[in-house]
Amino acid sequence: MFPDYRPRRLRKNAALRSLIRETHLCADQLIYPLFVVPGKNRREEIVSMPGVYRISVDQLAKEAKECLHLGITSVILFGLPEKKDGMGSGAHAKNGIIQTAIKELKNKAPELLVITDVCLCEYTDHGHCGCIINNDVDNDATLEILAKTALSHAQAGADMVAPSDMMDGRVSEIRAILDENNFDSIPIMSYAVKYASAFYGPFREAADCEPQFGDRRSYQMDPANSREALRETTLDIDEGADIIMVKPAVAYLDIISRIRDEFDLPVAAYHVSGEYAMIKAAAEKGWIDGERVMEETLLSIKRAGADIILTYFAKDMAKILRSRR
């Protein structure tokens, strides 16, 4: 063939390269995670996640405006309650931390899409994602608490709920309680494929949800499995999920790609805390160019097939995208 086709012809300058670019990042398909804490005037950097803060409710409006200004139209909320108990009852408290945060955001920045993480691990004193019966995370007893939690988020004004607990059957339980209470238009973004991953380390510091005994392997997926990811996704879609999520992202690009090929729902990928922290740490040491590695990483997630990316880099990336316009 050579020299009939010369791939370098189309790489000659920036205009040509952008003309044939296959994948694009855009701020409105990035979801920015927010950690909300009780109290006033709090803005505390998370040690293992430089640039990410735990903030109190009164700081949310400012954060929301900044996101919207940068073109980020969605956030996902995580809450740290005043106190924890065995059943995670703070998760569905009427004036709990998340319920209060939702109201504040919908009040001050109504156009921002507010998504809530539905899970119990930040609210249980043992740190597991469900309640414990006979030394085990009890699946069916947990479903009821999760459903109540999702309903309380919808009642506070959440635009979408995102169950991340990995209990069997939680999507249908949540769909049912939302529908019964006239929230049939609230979508569910399910963490359909969530692995038992060591990449969640910094998040557990951020959200104070490290399990006090055992680990999460009896409910989160084995990192060695990919066919199981298809089964999990099929179940969640049958139960009523509107968006399916894969988590973590970079170590599971093959899974994102398979899910994209096999299903036609929107696919989200969670670029998790450890994936963020590794890039930040190496960049701080001067070993990599943090900004370029960030963009390359997010592009790889998009290229693998994710429509939506949840990432702590959302604001950093959006700033760069904005500066190019």
By annotation, the residues acting in catalysis are 194, 247
Our CB check for ligand PBG shows the closer of 5 and 163 to be 163
State the nearest-atom distance from the C-beta of 231 to ligand PBG, in Å.
20
- By CB under 6 A, name the binding residues for ligand PBG: 117, 119, 121, 129, 164, 200, 203-204, 216, 272-273
State the nearest-atom distance from the C-beta of 142 to ligand PBG, in Å.
12
State the nearest-atom distance from the C-beta of 8 to ligand PBG, in Å.
40
Tokens of 193: 């494929």
Distance CA 132, CA 322 (A): 47
Our CB check for ligand PBG shows the closer of 152 and 273 to be 273
Our CB check for ligand PBG shows the closer of 61 and 168 to be 168
* CA gyration radius, the chain: 20
For residue 248, whether the previous peptide bond is cis, meaning omega lies within 30 degrees of 0, is: yes
Our CB check for ligand PBG shows the closer of 32 and 203 to be 203
State the nearest-atom distance from the C-beta of 324 to ligand PBG, in Å.
27
Our CB check for ligand PBG shows the closer of 99 and 164 to be 164
State the nearest-atom distance from the C-beta of 258 to ligand PBG, in Å.
22
